Chain A
Amino acid sequence: MSAAPNQAVVSIPPVAAISAPAGRSLWADAMARLMQNRFAVASAILLGVIVFAAIIVPWISPYNYYTPQWALLDLPPTWHGGHIFGTDDLGRDLLVRVMWGCRISLFIGLIATIVSVVIGVLWGAAAGFVGGHVDSVMMRIVDILYSVPFIPFVIILVVMFGRDLFLIFVAIGAVSWLDIARIVRGQTLSLGNKEFIEAARASGVSGPSIVVRHLVPNLLGIVVIYATLTVPSVILFEAFLSFLGLGVQAPMTSLGVLVSDGASELQSYPYLLFIPAVFLALIVYCLNYLGDGLRDVLDPKER
């Protein structure tokens, strides 16, 4: 009797197997639809070009970002000697400095975002999943950290530990994981009522495994979106800190430092401000468009 359904299977012609849709994951599907969003694709390409240039230009250029050239101070953009973006007030090649700035800004953006995503997701998922008093305490801690004013916090850190690139990661990471933790907690609360979480419990999966294996994959969509929107905000944060003189240390530079330095010489050498500002704006715009596109394709309601 039990063999009957199997025989029925065998009698199905192989055509059925061919015409059946190929396995396509939610991610593959989302990527395919992202490709149809022209703004998002253009942003991704432009971002790729900037990243590529940031990596390659300082490497192949005959100039470096720190050696002054006393004969070539404040050279406007020119083909002379390959200084296509000109030189700054110490005669350093602006192209190389802008590319280094992109490197540092993107690097800080990326690292600080990864740090804040990891902390935020685990913190938020744990709070939402465990619930009850644990949830209350964890979220009150988030509230308290939210209420700490950012600039005095950074100034205290700088006074205590001196200026250091690592410190900027800490400062920015400590602030930006709070938003992600809140968002993830809300999502986790709504996911916790779903039957598949109950089903995982009923098949004997322990709490931490449920968080890592079942909750986190379901949260990835929203986290990816949020992360692409966090990177530009972190870059702007860093620019803001550097503008105030709390960021990276000279002669190392970042887009924020370049904009800050350029602003002080706006009247006489406007290109020193405009060129890094354009790159900063492009990076932030591209990441925002990309995040926007991702939000559209990963939102389950759009499916």
Chain B
Amino acid sequence: MAPTPLLEVRDVSVEFATREGAVRAVSQVDLDLVTGETLAIVGESGSGKSQMLLGLLGLTARNGRVSGSARFKGEELVGAGAKRLNQIRGAEIGFVFQDPMTSLNPYLTIGRQLTEPLTVHRRVGSAAATAQAIEMLHAVHITEPERRMQQYPHQLSGGMRQRVAIAMALICRPEMLIADEPTTALDVTVQAQVLSLLREVRERFGTAVILVTHDLGVIAELADRVNVMYAGRIVETGSVDEIFYNCRHPYTQALERSIPQLDDSRLERLVAIAGNPPNPLHLPPGCAFAPRCPYRLDVCDKSVPPLEAVEAGHRKACFYEGALDRMAEPA
């Protein structure tokens, strides 16, 4: 497959003006997404994952400001007019939100919500829209779609609502789907179903997926490439295998150590990352992870490490060049 860049993000920053001063939620992020690929963005809460993607679509809160460049199929999204962004959102880029309990309007029927993007973007008649919506509900394995169309969100289970949300995001057949923690609010068995559904629709419709999550298990399941974010910056990026088996950033390592292993017979405590994420109002001048990092060098406190290639397709932002084997405790 010839990798045509579908989305090319360069140097994107998102800043919020607050009473206490400017907060930089996302700093100089670069991303590439090719057609049909699945890119995962991982990081803990507040690392700027969601804000970056909302920023790309012009959905930043009123006090936010997005800078940099994001080209979707060669077209600049940052600073694009509201009208053009409305045409792209939903039609060419679908969005699935975290919590299906709140991302569906409780007062509207499933059918009305599902057909809305079609009537907005494709100007199809209501009969055709209904037919397409039913077809889409079939595609996401909703039983009795005709009856579901008449129902309200509270009559559906959480997993079914997330399927409906996915169907809604895909109904205009977008080339790119952004899934913002699509499984976080669901229980474990339903998570697995939603993940396999995402994999299936990706293959069926050839949709490129950006998957935001803090669940490394989800990434191993679904992603081709992984971006690890910390305090608004990408600290490591590479293929799934590189990130899982050959990670080179202490933060990535610490994240991986904090997942429970099902086949681990030793009953040991999970390794938590010591300390807290930095306050985005007062980011350290150097590497934001330095205060929590077991490999900290003097230079880490002074300057921000650039994102440099480790090998082809694998980059990290860390000054430490040695092997990562120490337990995750601050030096």
Contact = CB atoms under 8 A, between A and B. Distances in A.
Interface of A: 1-2, 5-6, 9, 12, 17, 20-21, 23-26, 131-132, 194-196, 198-206, 209, 213-214, 217-218, 220
Contacts of B98: 195
B200 interface: yes
Nearest to A6: B141
B86 A194 contact: no
Interface stretch (B6-14, B143-151, B310-318): B143-151
Interface residues of B, number: 44
Contact of A2 (B99, B102, B204): B204
Smallest CB-CB A-B distances: 3 pairs: A204-B90, A203-B90, A202-B95
A205 B107 contact: no
A194 B88 contact: no
B242 interface: no
Contacts of B257: none
A203 B94 contact: yes
Contacts of A218: 105-107
Interface in B73-101: 82-83, 85-91, 94-95, 97-99
A211 to B, nearest CB: 13
Contact of B105 (A1, A17, A209, A214): A214
Interface stretch (B25-33, B115-123, B211-219, B260-268): B115-123
A56 to B, nearest CB: 37
A171 to B, nearest CB: 34
B147 A204 contact: no
Contacts of B143: 9, 12
A217 B108 contact: yes
Nearest to A218: B107
B57 A202 contact: yes
5 contacts: A5-B141, A9-B143, A202-B90, A205-B116, A206-B82
Contact of B200 (A2, A196, A204): A2
A196 to B, nearest CB: 4
B315 to A, nearest CB: 29
Interface of B: 57, 59, 62, 82-83, 85-91, 94-95, 97-99, 102-109, 116-117, 120-121, 138, 141, 143-144, 147, 150-152, 154-155, 165, 168-169, 200, 204
A23 B89 contact: no
A229 to B, nearest CB: 21
A1 B199 CA distance: 12
Nearest to B93: A202
A interface majority secondary structure: helix
Contact of A199 (B95, B141, B150): B95
B97 A199 contact: yes
B103 A195 contact: yes
B120 A204 contact: yes
A199 B165 contact: yes
A199 B161 CA distance: 13
Nearest to B109: A25
B108 A23 contact: no
Nearest to A21: B155
Given A12-B143, A202-B59, A204-B91, A26 B116 contact: no
A205 B103 contact: no
Contacts of A209: 120
Given A196-B106, A202-B89, A203-B116, 20 more contacts: A1-B200, A9-B143, A12-B143, A23-B152, A194-B102, A195-B97, A195-B102, A199-B97, A203-B90, A203-B117, A203-B120, A204-B86, A204-B88, A204-B90, A204-B91, A204-B117, A206-B86, A209-B120, A217-B108, A220-B107
A196 B103 contact: yes
Contacts of A26: 106-107, 152, 154
A202 B56 CA distance: 11
Contacts of B147: 17, 20, 23
A198 B94 contact: no
Contacts of A205: 86, 90, 116-117, 120
B59 A201 contact: yes
Nearest to A27: B107
Nearest to A17: B144
Nearest to A214: B105
A302 to B, nearest CB: 14
Contacts of B141: 5-6, 9
